[in-house]
């Protein structure tokens, strides 16, 4: 319970003690200028995260020519990146639960920027594979912790659409990687190395984050860390900005009793085990369908008879779908239940993947590919928002890491599986497989997923 009239223009207090930071954040009904500044910074980090994540896919056709890589060799290096992402998701998530969201997020940015830059100097396939493992480690550690940070620091009624907006901003990195590849790869042998150099630019964002990105207030509160003067000033500023935007007093903060902290094994029993399995299964099918499609588009188009330049042009056009796809989530993600949105999207994606794989008409290839790529990103935005909501705060980083890591581990097998299916059953079979994976993602979510839209994180935690 709280005492006093609605919004005393000061800190919210419990009956027995100090201000409750989480309750004060939860009563913010709008996005403030402070939130917008964070969106700009985190969006920049996401842009070059996605550049780095997609860099090998666009370099692969040139590497096949320059290094004589087979389709299977491309699959091995693609899978190597997913090995790093699997470990990074879990280790990064666990470290963020123990030591804070901020240091792990920023440290991961510097980590993958370094190894992306070193990838540009790789002398051969084996060294590049090792460097992609290390780059993948940092990439997924940063992505998972960033999504958790947003879920804890943004207003509950708006966190879904701002997760989608951040992803949309970040997804500008996909066409950036595609068009950088389109411009530099044809310049000659070794020009593909510049794609990895561009991925290292995120270190600049890391330097800015050191100065302006705060620790998650919810994380500090849950770990019994008292609010210091700087954090008190931050919360007070957000409250003031919200009052200025709404022109009214803020709602009275609702102070809930703290949720008892459990051990790591909590994720492996009871209702939390179900959430872990569902989130992990959804991520597995997401990676199998999404990255099975996007990572292989340039290479498989060459196998269909297009030149490297033509395949990169097709891939560059499809990459443009990424940003509108994530933005498409914004009108629906906080309006309808997330699990239902995902089902509808995956049915449409499956149909478009079949059309892309079976058509020989270039226009149909572009239309089906663009539609599939766009709706996949809408689904990614929705699923990533969901995953950051369903785990208890003290295990949110680890739980999200296990889910995301499971998907990345599936990506290890997925890269090899696409190569195997193509070699054994042909191109059409590859796209049937991708469509089935998309449908299974939708079914897992609608049948077993939790209701999270517009609910307080603490309420989701208690159900």
| Residue range 84-140, pLDDT digits in tens | 888 998 999 999 998 999 999 999 999 999 999 999 898 888 899 899 899 999 998
Asked whether the beta carbons of 191 and 68 are under 8 A apart, the reply is no
pLDDT of residue 11: 45
pLDDT of residue 262: 58
pLDDT at 5 exceeding the cut of 50: no
Percent of the chain whose pLDDT exceeds 90 = 30
The residue-averaged pLDDT of 38-56 equals 86
pLDDT of residue 1: 35
Write down all domains in the chain, each with its CATH number in brackets: 21-462 (1.20.1250.20)
Q: Determine the straight-line distance between the first and last CA of the chain, rounded to whole angstroms.
A: 20
Indicate the average pLDDT of the chain.
Answer: 84
pLDDT at 2 exceeding the cut of 60: no
pLDDT of residue 263: 64
Q: What is the pTM of this model?
A: 0.77
**In sequence order, what are the beta bridge partners of 13?**
19
The residue-averaged pLDDT of 17-43 equals 83
- Read off φ and ψ for residue 270, nearest 5 degrees: 60, -145
pLDDT at 453 exceeding the cut of 60: yes
pLDDT of residue 67: 85
pLDDT of residue 260: 55
Rounded CA-CA distance 273/250 in Å is 37
pLDDT at 13 exceeding the cut of 50: no
pLDDT of residue 12: 43
pLDDT digits (tens, 9 = 90+) for 222-261: 777 777 788 888 888 999 999 998 888 887 776 665 555 5
Predicted confidence band of residue 317 (pLDDT cuts 50, 70, 90):
confident
């Amino acid at each position: 319970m709280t005492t006093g009239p609605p919004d005393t223009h000061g800190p919210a207090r419990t009956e027995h003690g100090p201000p409750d930071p989480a309750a004060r954040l939860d009563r913010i009904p709008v996005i403030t200028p402070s939130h917008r500044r964070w969106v700009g910074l985190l969006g920049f980090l996401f842009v070059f995260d996605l550049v780095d994540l997609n860099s090998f896919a666009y370099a692969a056709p040139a590497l096949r020519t320059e290094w004589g890589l087979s389709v299977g060799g491309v699959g091995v290096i693609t899978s190597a990146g997913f090995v790093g992402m699997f470990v990074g998701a879990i280790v990064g998530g666990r470290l963020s639960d123990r030591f804070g969201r901020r240091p792990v997020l920023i440290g991961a940015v510097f980590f993958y920027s370094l190894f992306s830059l070193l990838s540009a100097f790789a002398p051969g396939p084996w060294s590049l594979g090792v460097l992609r493992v290390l780059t993948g480690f940092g990439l997924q550690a940063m992505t998972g912790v960033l999504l958790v940070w947003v879920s804890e620091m943004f207003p509950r009624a708006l966190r879904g659409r701002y997760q989608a907006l951040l992803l949309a901003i970040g997804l500008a990195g996909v066409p950036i990687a595609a068009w950088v590849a389109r411009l530099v790869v044809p310049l000659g042998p070794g020009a593909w190395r510049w794609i990895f150099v561009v991925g290292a630019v995120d270190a600049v964002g890391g330097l800015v984050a050191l100065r302006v990105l705060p620790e998650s207030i919810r994380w500090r509160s849950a770990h019994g860390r008292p609010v210091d003067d700087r954090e008190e000033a931050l919360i007070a500023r957000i409250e003031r900005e919200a009052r200025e935007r709404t022109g009214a007093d803020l709602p009275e903060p609702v102070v809930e009793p703290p949720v008892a902290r459990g051990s790591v094994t909590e994720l492996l029993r009871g209702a939390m085990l179900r959430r872990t399995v569902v989130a992990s299964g959804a991520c597995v099918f997401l990676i199998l369908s999404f990255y099975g499609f996007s990572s292989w588009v340039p290479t498989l188009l060459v196998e269909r008879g297009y030149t490297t330049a033509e395949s990169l042009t097709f891939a560059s056009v499809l990459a443009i779908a990424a940003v509108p796809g994530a933005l498409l989530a914004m009108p629906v993600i906080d309006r309808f239940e997330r699990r239902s949105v995902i089902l509808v999207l995956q049915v449409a994606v499956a149909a478009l993947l079949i059309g892309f794989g079976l058509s020989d008409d270039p226009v149909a290839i572009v239309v089906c590919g663009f539609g599939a790529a766009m709706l996949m990103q809408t689904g990614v935005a929705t699923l990533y928002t969901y995953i950051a909501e369903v785990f208890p705060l003290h295990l949110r980083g680890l739980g999200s890491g296990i889910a995301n890591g499971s998907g990345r581990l599936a990506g290890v097998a997925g890269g090899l599986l696409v190569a195997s299916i193509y070699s054994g059953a042909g191109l059409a079979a590859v796209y049937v497989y991708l469509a089935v994976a998309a449908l299974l993602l939708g079914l897992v979510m609608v049948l077993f997923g939790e209701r999270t839209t517009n609910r307080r994180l603490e309420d989701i935690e208690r159900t």
